[in-house]
C-alpha cells in the first residue's frame, strides 16, 4: 500500500498561516501529503491525501446542508481514529456546521456509563445530529434517544443522503470551529467553544514556534482524537502545515505500545507526543527489544504533555532506547489545556528535559521555590520539570489567592492569556465566569511558578485525579458509588494520592454502617466494581465510621480534608487492626 | 456446555489466572470488575491475549458488554463463528 509522501515537491510549506481550517485544508489539498491509518497489528490499512479528504468532505458537506441542518448547528461524532471522522469533521467546516467530537470508551462492562456520558455531552452541546461508525451506532443511538436527538446515523447513512439543494457555506474567520469536551465531569460536561481564530492561532504557535515544523517532518500518533492533544496536535496542526501523519488507534497503542515506536521507526516519523505514561507503557513492554530493533534516530521532537511531566520515567526511557538511536535531547516538555485550544508553552527544541530542584519545605510552607543546587538531601528536595516559555502573543501570570501577580519563584495559581484562549464554555456562563473571572484571562486551576521566564507546574487543580493520562473527576466516582443500595448520598469522598513516580492511586472513603464483616467485604467489592465500570480505574476502598467526612460551611464535601485525614491516618478502615482493637476494647469494656 | 464451549471456557479461565491475584475460584458468573478488579489497562492486556490465543478480533463496541467470564466465553464463540 502506498502511504502519503513526507514532503510536497511542488508546494511551499506554509505552517499555520491561514485564517480558517477550510483555507488551510484547501491549501494542503494542493499537495500529496495526508493521513495514514495502521491496523491493530501495525500494518498500513488506509491512506488519504489531504486532497482526498477535502473532496470527500465537500461531498458530505453538500449532503449535510441539504438535510436541513441550519448554519451553526452542532453535529456530534464519536472521534474514533479513522478517516470517516476526519472527513465528517471537515465536512462540517465546509457546511457551516460545528462538529462536536465525542469520546470513545473501552471499560469492561461500562456500556451503560458510556451511553450516559454521550447523552450528557450531546445535551450540553444542543446537537442537531449525531454520526458514528457501524460498530458504535447502537450506543450512540441509545444516547441520542435519551436526549431527543432524532437525526442519528452511521457515516454510510449520511453519505447516502441526497445532496440536491445542498450548498458549500464554509465557516468563516469570525465563526466557531468546533466544541471540545475534555473538561468538566461526566455528569456536568463542559464544552470548550473553540473559535476559528483560536485554533488557527494555536496551530500557528505550535507549528511555527513550538515544533518549528519543516520540510521532511512526519508525525506519528496514537493519541485519541477526542482529546485536544490528539485533535489539535496531531490532526489539525499537521493539516494546517501540510505534514503527513501516521495513526495508530489509541486502543492499539494500549494493547501493543511498541507499535508506536515501530511505526515511527519504519515510516520515518520525526514528531510524536505522549503524556508521561505513554513512554512508561513502552518501557514496561521493552524487555525483549533488541539493540537497533527500532531506528529512533530521526525522532527530533518527543513531546510530553497532558499530565504532570515525570522526569525519572523519561530518563529511564532515553536510557533504554539509546541503543535504538533515541536521543534524550528530543524530549520536549510542554504545558497546555483545552481551554487554550491545546498549547500554552513549550520548552526549547533540542534541549531535552530540564528540571528544577527546590526546597520541599519552603515550597510547602512558604510557597517559595527555592532552588537547591545539589547540596540538599533528597529528603527535603522536590524536582519539577520546566515546561518552557509561553507561545508568542501569549502570556502567563502566577497569582496569589487575592489575584496579585507574584514574582519569579513564588508558587501560585497559573493564569494565562492570548489568542488561543477560548471565549468560554458553550452555553455555560456560570462555568465560564468561574474559569475566566477577568475578561481575557483564564484561571487554569493549576499551581506553578516561573523560573528564568520558564513555567514550572507544581500541581494540578486540587480535586482532579489523573490516571494513565486520563482526567478523572472525583464527583463522577462518588456519584457512581452513591447509586449503590447501601451507600447514602454524601457518604463518599474520592481523591487521588500520589505514589511518587508511580503516578496516582485512587482512594474512595465511604462511611459505612454495616456491622457484619462479611457484608462489608461484599460492599467493598461492589464499590470497586462500580468504580471500574464507570471510570475504568482500580481504587482502594476505605470503609470508615459515619460522620468521618468533613463538609465545608456551605455544605460541600471537602475532598482536600478527606485526603489530608487519610494521609495522616486520621481516617482508618473499619477492618484495619487499629479499628478492630478499638472495637474489641469497647466490647470488653461494655461487658 | 458443549465440548468447544468447555474448551473455550477452560482457556479463558487459564488466561484469567494472571489477573486473579486473590486466587478466587472462577465460575461462569465471576464478575470481571467486582471479583477480579481488572482495570482498564489490564483489560486491554486481557483482551489482547484472548485475541491472540483464539486468533479473533474483539471490536471495541463489544467491550462495554463484557461483565462476566460467561460474557467473555460467549464473545469468543460468536467471534469465532463470525470469522
- State which H helix or E strand residue A541 sits in: strand A539-544
State the Cα–Cα distance between residues A328 and A560, nearest whole angstrom: 37
State the Cα–Cα distance between residues A218 and A299, nearest whole angstrom: 9
Per-domain residue ranges of chain B: 3-82
Q: How far is CA B73 from CA A305, A441, B15, B44, B47, in A?
A: 39, 54, 12, 16, 12
- Reduced to 3 states (helix: H, G, I; strand: E, B; else coil), residue A498 is strand
Q: Which residue has the cell 527530533?
A: A300
State the Cα–Cα distance between residues A268 and A520, nearest whole angstrom: 55
Residues of chain A with pLDDT under 50: 590-591
For residue B31, the chain A residue with the least C-alpha distance is A529
- State which H helix or E strand residue A472 sits in: strand A470-472
- For β-strands A127-132 and A74-78, DSSP reports them as parallel
DSSP string, A174-200: TSEEEEEEEEE-SSSEEEEEEEHHHHH
Q: How far apart are the first and last CA of chain A?
A: 82
Given B35, B37, B60, which is nearest A251 (Cβ)? B60
Contact predicate A338/A325, CB 8 Å:
no
Cβ pair A109:B48 closer than 8 A: no
Q: Is B14 on the interface with A (CB under 8 A)?
A: no
Nearest to residue A244, comparing CAs of A27, A2, A32?
A: A32
- State which H helix or E strand residue A89 sits in: helix A83-95
Cell representation of residue A152: 442519528
Packing angle, helices B40-54 and B69-82, rounded to 10 = 40
Instruction: Give the 3-state DSSP-derived string for B38-73, with helices as H, strands as E and coil as C.
Output: CCHHHHHHHHHHHHHHHCCCCCHHHHCCCCEHHHHH
Domain B3-82 has CATH 3.40.50.300: no
ipTM > 0.90 (yes/no)? no
Alpha carbon of B76: minimum distance to chain A alpha carbons (Å): 15
CB within 8 Å of B52: residues ≥ 6 apart: none
Q: How far is CA A471 from CA A125, A402, A501, B58, in A?
A: 20, 28, 18, 26
Cβ pair B67:A138 closer than 8 A: no
Same fold yes or no, A356-459 and A465-590:
no
pTM: 0.85
For residue A468, the chain B residue with the least C-alpha distance is B41
Cβ pair A109:B67 closer than 8 A: yes
Domain A356-459 has CATH 2.30.38.10: yes
pLDDT value for A548? 85
Contact predicate A221/A237, CB 8 Å:
no
Cell representation of residue A184: 468538566
DSSP string, A440-468: TBEEEEEEEEEETTEEEEEE--TT-EEET
Q: Please, what's the b/e burial string for A199-223 (b: 16 or more CB within 10 A of its CB; e: otherwise)?
A: bbbbbbbbbbbbbebeeebbbbbbb
- State which H helix or E strand residue A114 sits in: helix A111-124
pLDDT value for A113? 86
Which of A105, A107, A109 should one mutate to test binding to chain B, selecting the residue with the greatest count of B CBs within 10 A? A109
Q: Which CATH class is domain A465-590?
A: alpha beta
pLDDT in tens, A87-115: 999 999 999 999 999 998 768 888 988 99
Cβ pair A138:B61 closer than 8 A: yes
Alpha carbon of A531: minimum distance to chain B alpha carbons (Å): 9
Contact predicate A248/A225, CB 8 Å:
no
State the Cα–Cα distance between residues A283 and A404, nearest whole angstrom: 43
Domain A21-34+42-195+225-233 sits in CATH at: 3.40.50.12780
State the Cα–Cα distance between residues A308 and A30, nearest whole angstrom: 39
Contact predicate A414/A446, CB 8 Å:
yes
State the Cα–Cα distance between residues A129 and A368, nearest whole angstrom: 51
**Cα dihedral sign, A76-A79-A83-A89:** positive
- Reduced to 3 states (helix: H, G, I; strand: E, B; else coil), residue A310 is coil
Q: How far is CA A87 from CA A52, A92, A320, A363, A384, in A?
A: 9, 9, 39, 49, 40
- For β-strands A442-451 and A454-459, DSSP reports them as antiparallel
Cell representation of residue B24: 478466587
pLDDT class of B43 with cuts at 50, 70, 90: confident
**Cα dihedral sign, A561-A566-A567-A570:** positive
Per-domain residue ranges of chain A: 21-34+42-195+225-233, 356-459, 465-590
State the Cα–Cα distance between residues A258 and A141, nearest whole angstrom: 35
- What dihedral angle (degrees, nearest 10) is formed by the CA atoms of A182, A184, A190, A195? -40
**Cα dihedral sign, A288-A291-A296-A302:** positive
Contact predicate A64/A91, CB 8 Å:
yes
- Reduced to 3 states (helix: H, G, I; strand: E, B; else coil), residue B82 is helix
**Please, what is the average pLDDT of chain A?**
91
State the Cα–Cα distance between residues A157 and A488, nearest whole angstrom: 45
Task: Provide φ and ψ at A427, rounded to 5°.
Answer: 45, 50
Q: Is B82 exposed, middle or buried (0-12, 13-18, 19+ CB in 10 A)?
A: exposed
**B 24-53 → A contacts, CB under 8 A:** 31-35, 37-41, 43-45, 47-48
Which long-range contacts link A484-488 to residues 24+ away (Cβ below 8 Å)?
Answer: A484/A523, A484/A526, A484/A527, A484/A530, A486/A514, A486/A523, A487/A523, A487/A527
pLDDT in tens, A499-544: 766 778 999 999 998 888 889 999 999 999 999 888 888 899 999 9
Q: How far apart are the first and last CA of chain B?
A: 21
pLDDT in tens, B44-82: 888 888 988 999 988 888 888 899 999 999 999 999 887
For residue B45, the chain A residue with the least C-alpha distance is A255
Q: Is B23 on the interface with A (CB under 8 A)?
A: no
State the Cα–Cα distance between residues A462 and A496, nearest whole angstrom: 10
Given B41, B65, B67, which is nearest A254 (Cβ)? B41
Alpha carbon of A574: minimum distance to chain B alpha carbons (Å): 20
Cell representation of residue A553: 460551611
Given A106, A108, A112, which is nearest B33 (Cβ)? A108
Amino acid at each position: 500500500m502506498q502511504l502519503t509522501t513526507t514532503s510536497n515537491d511542488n508546494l511551499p510549506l506554509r505552517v499555520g498561516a491561514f485564517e480558517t481550517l477550510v483555507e488551510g485544508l484547501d491549501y494542503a489539498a494542493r499537495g500529496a501529503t495526508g493521513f495514514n491509518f495502521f491496523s491493530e497489528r501495525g500494518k498500513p490499512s488506509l491512506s488519504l491525501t489531504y486532497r482526498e479528504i477535502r473532496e470527500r468532505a465537500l461531498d458530505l458537506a453538500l449532503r449535510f446542508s441539504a438535510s436541513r441542518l441550519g448554519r451553526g448547528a452542532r453535529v456530534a461524532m464519536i472521534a474514533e481514529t479513522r478517516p470517516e471522522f476526519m472527513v465528517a469533521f471537515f465536512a462540517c467546516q465546509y457546511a457551516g456546521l460545528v462538529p462536536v467530537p465525542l469520546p470513545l470508551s473501552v471499560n469492561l462492562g461500562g456500556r451503560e456509563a458510556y451511553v450516559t456520558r454521550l447523552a450528557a455531552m450531546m445535551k450540553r452541546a444542543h446537537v442537531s445530529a449525531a454520526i458514528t461508525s457501524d460498530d458504535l451506532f447502537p450506543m450512540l443511538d441509545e444516547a441520542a434517544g435519551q436526549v431527543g436527538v432524532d437525526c442519528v446515523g452511521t457515516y454510510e447513512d449520511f453519505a447516502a443522503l441526497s445532496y440536491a439543494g445542498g450548498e458549500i457555506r464554509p465557516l468563516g474567520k469570525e465563526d466557531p470551529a468546533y466544541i471540545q469536551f475534555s473538561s468538566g465531569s461526566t455528569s456536568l460536561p463542559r464544552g470548550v467553544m473553540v473559535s476559528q481564530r483560536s485554533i488557527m492561532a494555536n496551530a500557528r504557535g505550535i507549528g511555527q514556534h513550538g515544533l518549528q515544523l519543516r520540510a521532511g517532518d512526519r508525525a506519528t500518533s496514537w493519541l485519541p482524537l477526542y482529546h485536544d492533544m490528539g485533535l489539535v496536535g496531531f490532526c489539525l496542526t499537521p493539516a494546517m502545515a501540510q505534514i503527513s501523519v501516521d495513526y495508530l488507534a489509541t486502543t492499539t497503542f494500549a494493547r501493543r505500545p511498541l507499535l508506536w515506536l515501530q511505526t515511527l521507526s519504519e515510516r520515518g516519523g520525526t514528531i510524536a507526543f505522549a503524556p508521561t505514561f505513554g513512554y512508561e507503557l513502552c518501557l514496561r513492554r521493552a524487555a525483549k527489544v533488541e539493540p537497533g530493533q527500532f531506528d529512533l534516530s530521526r525522532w527530533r521532537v518527543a513531546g510530553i504533555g497532558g499530565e504532570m511531566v515525570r522526569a525519572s520515567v523519561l530518563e529511564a526511557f532515553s536510557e533504554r532506547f539509546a541503543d535504538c538511536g533515541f536521543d534524550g535531547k528530543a524530549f520536549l516538555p510542554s504545558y497546555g489545556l483545552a481551554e487554550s485550544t491545546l498549547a500554552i508553552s513549550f520548552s526549547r527544541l533540542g534541549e531535552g528535559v530540564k528540571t528544577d530542584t527546590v526546597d520541599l519545605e519552603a515550597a510547602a510552607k512558604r510557597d517559595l521555590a527555592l532552588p537547591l543546587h545539589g547540596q540538599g538531601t533528597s529528603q527535603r528536595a522536590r524536582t519539577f520539570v520546566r515546561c518552557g516559555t509561553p507561545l508568542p502573543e501569549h502570556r502567563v501570570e502566577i497569582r496569589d489567592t487575592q489575584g496579585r501577580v507574584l514574582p519569579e519563584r513564588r508558587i501560585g495559581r497559573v493564569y494565562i492569556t492570548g489568542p488561543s484562549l477560548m471565549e468560554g464554555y458553550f452555553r455555560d456562563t456560570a462555568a465560564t465566569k468561574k474559569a475566566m473571572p477577568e475578561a481575557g484571562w483564564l484561571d487554569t486551576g493549576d499551581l506553578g511558578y516561573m523560573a528564568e521566564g520558564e513555567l514550572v507546574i507544581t500541581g494540578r487543580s486540587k480535586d482532579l485525579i489523573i490516571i494513565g493520562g486520563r482526567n478523572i473527576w472525583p464527583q463522577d466516582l462518588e456519584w457512581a458509588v452513591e447509586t449503590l443500595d447501601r451507600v447514602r448520598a454524601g457518604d463518599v469522598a474520592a481523591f487521588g494520592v500520589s505514589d511518587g513516580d508511580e503516578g496516582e492511586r485512587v482512594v474512595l472513603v465511604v462511611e459505612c454502617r454495616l456491622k457484619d464483616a462479611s457484608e462489608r467485604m461484599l460492599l467493598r467489592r461492589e464499590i470497586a466494581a462500580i468504580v471500574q465500570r464507570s471510570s475504568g480505574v482500580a481504587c482502594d476502598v476505605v470503609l470508615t465510621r459515619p460522620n468521618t467526612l468533613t463538609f465545608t460551611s456551605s455544605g460541600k464535601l471537602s475532598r482536600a480534608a478527606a485526603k489530608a485525614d487519610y494521609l495522616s491516618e486520621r481516617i482508618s478502615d473499619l477492618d484495619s487492626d487499629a479499628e478492630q482493637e478499638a472495637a474489641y476494647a469497647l466490647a470488653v469494656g461494655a461487658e | 456446555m458443549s465440548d468447544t464451549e468447555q474448551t473455550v471456557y477452560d482457556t479463558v479461565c487459564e488466561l484469567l489466572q494472571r489477573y486473579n491475584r486473590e486466587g478466587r475460584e472462577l465460575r461462569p458468573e465471576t464478575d470481571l470488575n467486582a471479583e477480579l478488579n481488572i482495570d482498564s489497562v489490564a483489560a486491554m492486556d486481557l483482551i489482547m491475549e484472548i485475541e491472540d490465543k483464539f486468533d479473533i478480533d474483539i471490536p471495541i463496541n463489544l467491550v462495554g458488554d463484557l461483565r462476566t467470564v460467561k460474557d467473555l466465553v460467549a464473545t469468543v464463540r460468536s467471534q469465532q463463528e463470525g470469522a
